Amino acid sequence: MVGRAIATKLVRLGHDVVMGSRAATSEAAAEWVASTDGRGAQGTFAEAAAHGEIVFNCTAGAGSLEALGQAGAENLAGKTLIDVSNPLDFSQGMPPSLFVASTDSLGEQIQRTFPDARVVKALNMVNNEVMVDPARLQGDHDLFVAGNHEGAKAEARGLLESFGWPPGSIRDLGDLTAARGMEAYLLLWLRLLGTFGTGYLNIKIVT
């Protein structure tokens, strides 16, 4: 869902996108390619990562390290890697818990495993439709980014602005340790979903 939403937005913005999957012949990816009037392509995670100047990790958190391993460290080196994943553990049913929290995060695990990639945690706190169409929600609301590489954050910021996020709404939380809180927010997000009956919500910082 997330990969499809982001890839569709990128294609609409004129980018040349390859959707990666475990199987190069993924039916879901083929269906997405068919919807792009020939402007999108599909491939293995390695082919997608090799193709991209910027890489989005939109894989299930439990499979993210494996998926990025398949993408290949050499195909991620030097690139901005925008990590949208959440470390959700569904093994005990619903609601999920987190398989990493508090003193570490999946974003940091990804950065440690692929030290030459430039990981930026972003977009993981909003639903996939809001990611690429923030105006879908009424009023002002905020999006957080975190990462150890200023240049990568600037690159991510440019893309997020092109998605429709107002510059003043993109809040830089500093280095990648901020991903701990951004990922743990999912525990609250799941409760908000249950309380308000909708995932079309976000938060706004007031001071």
Cβ closest to ligand NAP, residue 58 vs residue 176: 58
How far lies 155's CA from each of 58, 78, 128, 160, 178, in Å?
18, 13, 20, 9, 18
Task: Decide whether 75 or 85 has the Cβ nearer to ligand NAP.
Answer: 85
Window 10 to 49, contacts with ligand NAP (CB under 6 A): 21-23, 26
**Among the residue ranges 112-120, 121-129, 144-152, 158-166, the one whose residues contact ligand NAP (CB under 6 A):** 121-129
Q: Nearest residue by C-beta to ligand NAP?
A: 63
Residue span binding ligand NAP (CB under 6 A) among the ranges 36-44, 63-71, 135-143, 153-161:
63-71
Among 105, 128, 169, 202, contact with ligand NAP (rule: CB under 6 A): 128
Quote the distance between the C-alpha of residue 18 and its chain's center: 15
Nearer to ligand NAP, 64 or 80 (CB): 64
Task: Rule CB under 6 A: choose which of 44, 85, 169, 202 binds ligand NAP.
Answer: 85
At 99, list the tokens: 């398989």
Q: Which one of 52-60, 97-105, 137-145, 169-177 is the stretch in contact with ligand NAP (CB under 6 A)?
A: 52-60
Alpha carbons 113 and 107: distance in angstroms, whole number: 10
- Retrieve residue 76's tokens: 């991620």
Contact 79, 155 (CB under 8 A): no
Dihedrals φ, ψ of 56, to 5°?
A: -105, 130
Eight-class DSSP state of 140: -
- CA–CA dist 131, 5 (Å, integer): 8
Select from 54-62, 143-151, 156-164, 176-184 the region that touches ligand NAP (CB under 6 A): 54-62
Token pair for 150? 């200023």
Task: For the segment 129-188, give every residue that binds ligand NAP (CB under 6 A).
Answer: none
Tell me which residue has tokens 């609250």. Answer: 188
Question: Under a CB-based contact definition with an 8 Å cutoff, are residues 36 and 11 in contact?
Answer: yes
Within 8 A by CB and 6+ apart from 28, the residues are 4, 21
Stretch that binds ligand NAP, among 6-14, 33-41, 82-90, 145-153 (CB under 6 A): 82-90
- State which residue, 35 or 150, has the beta carbon closest to ligand NAP: 35
* Binding residues vs ligand NAP (CB under 6 A): 1-3, 21-23, 26, 58-61, 63, 66-67, 84-86, 88, 124, 127-128
